[in-house]
Structure 1
Amino acid sequence: MECMPTPQPPWTDHADAAPPVAATASRGLGRRVVLRAAGLGAAGVLIGAGLSTDSVARGGRNLLSRADWGAYASREPFPDCNSHFTLERMIGTRFPRMSWFSTWGVSWPGTGGEQAAAGGYDVLIAWQPTTDGRTPIRFTDLVAGRHDEYLERFYTRAANHPGKVVVRFAHEPNGTGYPWSVDFRGTTGKCVESTDEYVAGWRYVVDFYRRLLPRLPRRNISFCWCITTRDRGTATAEQYFPGNDVVDVLAMDVYNGYGGYWASPRSLLAAPYARLTALGGDQPIWITELGCREPSKTENSGVRPDKSKSKAQWMQQLFDLTDYPRIEAVYFFHAERAHDWRLNSSPEALAVCRSALAGRYR
C-alpha cells in the first residue's frame, strides 16, 4: 500500500483502493453539526467545532454545485503531498481538502503535514488502527488505556494543524479487507472479535479526545464513520455503528466497475445512502473514496475493455445527480491499482473532470 513509510499489506475489499489514508477536514460539514454538537453537555465538546455553514440549504442543485470536492492523490502524505499538487495542476483547480491514510505507527506526517499546514488545507484522515500496517491494535487493549500515550500525541499534533481535521477511524468495518472487521480474511490477526468490541473502541477514541480538549490548542477535530457500499461478511454495517452522539459525519466509500460490474451513480449510491440516513441522526453524508474503473482498456486486474461503457459519461452522470441531498462532500480516489481509478485514466474522463471542476477553488 502506498501512504505509509512502511510496506503495507493488501487489506481491502477494493485491493487497490485502500492504503492507509488520512482525513480531509470539511469546509461543508454544515451548521446543524455544530448545533448538534453544542448540545453534548458537560463533556460538551464541539466535535465539529469551527465548521462552516457554506453547505447549508443546498437542496435542489446538482451534486457538482452543492458538494465540496476533495481528493486522495496517491501517495500523499508520504513522503510528501506533491502528488496532490500535481493533481490540482492537472485538473486546473485547488482541492482544499486532502485525503490521507495513516496507521498508528505515525503520530502526524512530517513533510506532508508541513505542506498541508503551509497551504491551508483541511485533512481527512483514514486512521487505521495498526502499528505498522501489519500489527493490529486490539480494541480491548485500546479500551483498557494501553494506547493512551499515542492517542494524546496524535490529538495534540492534529490540534496544532491550522486547518480542520476529520478522523475517519477504522473505516469500512462491514467489509472483509481490514483487521477491524470481525470477518477479516487476512492472516495477521484481528483488532476485534465482535461488533461490540468495535463500538467500544470507536467510542473510546472519541471520548478520549473530549477529555483531552481542555489541554489542546484548538477544537478542530471531528469524527467520520465510514462504510463500504455493501456488507461482505456476517455482520451488517448497522451492527458496527457507534452511535450518533460520537459521529459527526456519516460516510461511504464508492467504487464502480469491480470485476466488470457496472452501475449508474444513482443506483450505486441508493442502498448505502438509505442505510446511512436511516441511522436517525442529521449528520452530513460524505463520499470519502470515489472511483470508477476505466472500461476503455484492459485493467491491471485483467478485466477486459467494454466499449459499451464510458467512464467520462459516468462521471458526468455523477456531477449531474440531483438525488441524495445530504451528500455534502466527495473525495476522489486518484490512484491506479488493480483498477484505474484516476481522474485522468482516459483523455475523455479527464476532459469531463476538468470541465466540471477547473477553477472551482482558488
Structure 2
Amino acid sequence: MTLNVLLLCSLSYGVYAAVISKAQAPAYAGLGAEAKGPGLVDQLKLKAPQTPSIPQKQQLLDPDGIYFGTSTKQAPWSGAEVQQVGADAGARPTISEYFVNWKHGFDPAAVSAAYQHGTLPLISWEPWAGGDSNQGAGIPKTTSADVDQPAYRLANITAGKFDSYITAFAKGVAADRRPVMIRFAHEMNGSWYPWSEQTNGNHLGDYVKAWRHVHDLFAQAGATNAIWIWSPDVVRGSHTRGLSALYPGDAYVDLVGLTGYGVLGEKTPDTTFDSTLKKVAALTDKKILITETGAEPSSLKATWIRGFFPWLIKHPQVIGFVWFEKDLATGANADWRFAATPETLSAFRKGIKTLHLVSGSVRAAASKPPP
C-alpha cells in the first residue's frame, strides 16, 4: 500500500513538474488565437492562470513581429468584438486596450478576459475621476469639468494622497503574475487632461515626480510584471508641449507609446508621426508602440491607411500599433474605424497582409530570415 502511494505521488509530481516546466518555457504562443480553455494546471487546481503559459515581460518587449492591437467599445470583455475585428482585418488582434480611471481598482478578470482572447491587456490608467476629453481625436476637445479636478493634481499623487489606491492596484498586478501593459497618464504633453502640467494647478516638473512615485510604489509591491508605457501625443504646433522635460527616464519606462491620428488633411503617416519620432529618438532608444491611431473621415482616409503599413515597415523601432476601432455610436467623437467604408476596409486588409505580425514566441537567439 505504501509503495502504491509513493508511486502515485511520484507520478503526480512528474505530471505537475512537466506542466510547470512547460508553463515556464521560453516561448509564449498565446497571442492571436483564443485560449483553448483551462489547462492541466488549472484542472489540478494549482495556482496558475488559464492561459497556455505565462509569458515573460522581456519576451513581450522584444516580439518576433508587429503587434496589431485594437481598442473597441467592450474591450477587453467581448470575445465577439475581437472575432469581428479579426474577421474584418483578416488578422486576429494581439493587444486589447481599455481605459481605467482612478475610481476603479485593478480587475484581474479583465486581464484574464484579454488573455483568453489571445491578446495582451493594455490598460490606459488615468489619474482622474473620468470625463469626456479625447475620445480618440486629433486635437481633442476639452471641457473645464474634465481638466479642473483639483483632487487629482500631480502634486497630490507625489505627496502620497493616493498611495493606498496605487499600492492596492500594484499588488493586484503582482498577484496576477501575467504581464500587464500600463499606459499611465497618457498624452501628458497636451492640455486636455488634469495630469497635464498646463492644467489643474500643476507645475513644471510635477509630471516626472508623479510618474516616478507611482513606478516606485509598483516596485515596492513586487509588480515587476508591469510594462510601463510612456505615451505622449504626437507633437503638433502650439497645442502640445515639448517632450524632454516630461520624460521620466529609461529606468522608469519600458516602451514609448504615441497617440497619433491621421487628421487635419494629413495625407501620410510620415506627416503624422515622423517629426515626433525624431524627438523621441533624442530622448531614448526604447522601442515604440503606437498606442492610439486611426484616420478621420475624409477623402484622405483610405490613402492614409494605405500608407500606414509601408510606414511601419520603414520604422523597425515601432513594434506595433493599437487601432481605435470606434465611432460615434461606440464612444468616439468621430469614426476612426478602418472598417468604416468598403474602401478603407480594403486598404487595411491589403496592408496588414504585408506585415510580419507577432506570434507571441520569443525572438530566437539566432537571427531569423526576414519575412
After TM superposition, the score normalised by the length of structure 1 is 0.69
Question: Is 1:89 aligned to residue 83 of structure 2?
Answer: no
Residue of structure 2 equivalent to 1:51: 58
231-240 vs 247-256, which moves further: 231-240
Residue of structure 2 equivalent to 1:69: 68
How much does 1:352 deviate? 2.4
Q: Which has the larger radius of gyration?
A: 2
Q: Conserved in 2, the CA contact under 8 Å of 1:70 and 1:96?
A: yes
Question: Is 1:182 aligned to residue 172 of structure 2?
Answer: no
Give the whole-Å Cα distance in 2 for the aligned partners of 1:90 and 1:317.
19
Per-residue displacement from partner, 1:81-101 (whole Å, max 9, x unpaired)?
653343223323321211111
Amino acid at match of 1:272: T
Structure 1, unmatched stretches of 5+, are: 1-25, 28-47, 59-65, 185-189, 296-305
Give the match's secondary structure for 2:314.
Answer: coil
Residue of structure 2 equivalent to 1:224: 229
Indicate the structure with greater helix content: 2
Give the match's secondary structure for 2:98.
Answer: strand
Residue of structure 1 equivalent to 2:346: 351
How much does 1:225 deviate? 0.7
Give the match's secondary structure for 2:260.
Answer: strand
Alignment equivalent of 2:317, drawn from 313, 323, 326: 326
Q: In the TM superposition, what are the counterparts of 1:117-266 in structure 2 within 5 Å?
A: 117-133=115-131, 135=149, 136-161=151-176, 163-184=178-199, 190=200, 193-213=202-222, 219-230=224-235, 232-233=238-239, 235-258=241-264, 261-266=265-270
* C-alpha spacing 1:338/1:142, structure 2 compared with 1 (3 Å): closer
Per-residue displacement from partner, 1:124-162 (whole Å, max 9, x unpaired)?
111100134454522222222221211122122223446
* C-alpha spacing 1:177/1:122, structure 2 compared with 1 (3 Å): same
Give the match's secondary structure for 1:263.
Answer: coil
Residue of structure 1 equivalent to 2:297: 294
How much does 1:271 deviate? 0.6
Give the whole-Å Cα distance in 1 for the aligned partners of 2:202 and 2:214.
18
Give the whole-Å Cα distance in 1 for the aligned partners of 2:254 and 2:357.
26
Q: Conserved in 1, the CA contact under 8 Å of 2:288 and 2:318?
A: yes
Q: CA RMSD in A?
A: 2.9
Give the whole-Å Cα distance in 2 for the aligned partners of 1:53 and 1:162.
14
How much does 1:360 deviate? 5.5
Q: Conserved in 2, the CA contact under 8 Å of 1:120 and 1:163?
A: no
Q: Conserved in 1, the CA contact under 8 Å of 2:111 and 2:180?
A: no
How much does 1:172 deviate? 0.7
Paired residues, what number? 282
How much does 1:312 deviate? 2.5
Q: Conserved in 1, the CA contact under 8 Å of 2:103 and 2:129?
A: yes
* C-alpha spacing 1:90/1:248, structure 2 compared with 1 (3 Å): same
Q: Conserved in 1, the CA contact under 8 Å of 2:67 and 2:357?
A: no
Q: Conserved in 2, the CA contact under 8 Å of 1:117 and 1:162?
A: no
Give the whole-Å Cα distance in 1 for the aligned partners of 2:85 and 2:99.
17
Identity across the alignment (%): 24
Give the whole-Å Cα distance in 2 for the aligned partners of 1:160 and 1:81.
24
Give the match's secondary structure for 2:232.
Answer: strand
* C-alpha spacing 1:202/1:313, structure 2 compared with 1 (3 Å): same
Residue of structure 2 equivalent to 1:14: none
How much does 1:323 deviate? 2.8
Amino acid at match of 1:124: L
How much does 1:50 deviate? 2.6
Per-residue displacement from partner, 1:177-219 (whole Å, max 9, x unpaired)?
11111224xxxxx2x5113111100011111111111xx5xx3
Give the whole-Å Cα distance in 1 for the aligned partners of 2:266 and 2:272.
9
145-154 vs 125-134, which moves further: 125-134
* C-alpha spacing 1:84/1:195, structure 2 compared with 1 (3 Å): farther
Question: Is 1:270 aligned to residue 266 of structure 2?
Answer: no
Give the whole-Å Cα distance in 1 for the aligned partners of 2:277 and 2:341.
29
Give the match's secondary structure for 1:195.
Answer: coil
Give the whole-Å Cα distance in 1 for the aligned partners of 2:105 and 2:215.
16
Q: Conserved in 1, the CA contact under 8 Å of 2:69 and 2:93?
A: yes
Residue of structure 2 equivalent to 1:37: none
Residue of structure 1 equivalent to 2:135: none
* C-alpha spacing 1:282/1:200, structure 2 compared with 1 (3 Å): same
Give the whole-Å Cα distance in 1 for the aligned partners of 2:179 and 2:60.
14
How much does 1:288 deviate? 0.6
How much does 1:262 deviate? 2.0
* C-alpha spacing 1:120/1:68, structure 2 compared with 1 (3 Å): closer
Amino acid at match of 2:254: D
Amino acid at match of 1:334: E
Give the whole-Å Cα distance in 1 for the aligned partners of 2:254 and 2:170.
17
Residue of structure 1 equivalent to 2:305: 315
Give the match's secondary structure for 2:58.
Answer: coil
Give the whole-Å Cα distance in 2 for the aligned partners of 1:81 and 1:138.
36
Amino acid at match of 1:242: P
How much does 1:263 deviate? 3.2
* C-alpha spacing 1:211/1:289, structure 2 compared with 1 (3 Å): same
